[in-house]
Copies of this chain bind each other. A is one copy, B any other.
Amino acid sequence: MAKASAKPKLDLVKRDDSNALIPEAFRNVLGYHLRVAQEASFQAFSAAADKADLKPGWYSILTILAEYGELTPSDLSRVCGRDRSTLTATLKGLSIRGLIERHQNPEDQRSYSVRLTEEGRKMQRRLHAIAHQHDQRLDEIVGADKDVVIAVLARIVNALGTS
């Protein structure tokens, strides 16, 4: 039978019409757009990494280690802005796959530091190539507004206390 009669059924408009689907209540809400944009961006990066059989979640850690050389999990957590407990599993994975080495701190039995292995450095470069491509795509989309947007985002982070 015809379903047309009974149900309103929400004639959901396709996506090509910009913000066709955004609920009225959210249209002017920064937090909403922030969330949606960040998820779209992450998904795009994730898809690109997956296609190359790489773990998107490794990128930031490997890159920070490439820049800082050697860090404890705690310092790494502060630099990348994640809770320490979040890193445990990832570091274990990276270690198992030989991408990082752990070095016990001889002066403190509780603590160790991690650094990239040669393999890890290679992996970082491969992920960086993908990330760079992704960010160029974002740059194209954002165009001249990039600096303003970055400044605003940084302001948000600072004002809300990094948390």
Chain B residues with CB under 8 Å of A71's CB are 10
Assess A8 versus B40: contact at CB under 8 Å? Given A153-B34, A154-B18.
no
A157 CB contact (under 8 Å) in B37, B108, B146, B152? B37
Residue of B nearest to A43 (CB): B163
Q: How many copies of this chain are found per oligomer?
A: 2
Q: Which of B79, B134, B153 contacts A37 (CB 8 A)?
A: B153
Decide: A152 and B145 in contact? CB cutoff 8 A. yes
Q: Closest approach, in angstroms, between the C-beta of A161 and any C-beta of chain B?
A: 7
Which residues from chain B contact A150 at a C-beta distance below 8 Å?
28, 30, 33
Residue of B nearest to A16 (CB): B158
Of the residues B24, B81, B107, B161, contact of A1 by C-beta under 8 Å? B107
Instruction: Please tell me if the beta carbons of B69 and A1 are within 8 angstroms of each other in the complex.
Output: yes
A3 CB contacts on chain B under 8 angstroms: 69-70, 107-108
Q: List 24 A-B contacts (CB under 8 A).
A: A1-B69, A3-B107, A6-B107, A8-B70, A8-B113, A12-B75, A12-B78, A15-B158, A18-B158, A21-B78, A21-B81, A23-B63, A25-B67, A26-B63, A30-B135, A33-B154, A34-B153, A36-B153, A39-B163, A40-B157, A40-B163, A44-B161, A137-B159, A145-B151
Which of A's residues lie within 8 Å of B, judged by CB?
A: 1, 3, 6-10, 12, 15, 18-19, 21, 23-26, 28-45, 47, 60, 63-64, 66-72, 75, 78-81, 105-108, 113, 128, 131, 134-135, 137-139, 141-142, 145-146, 148-163
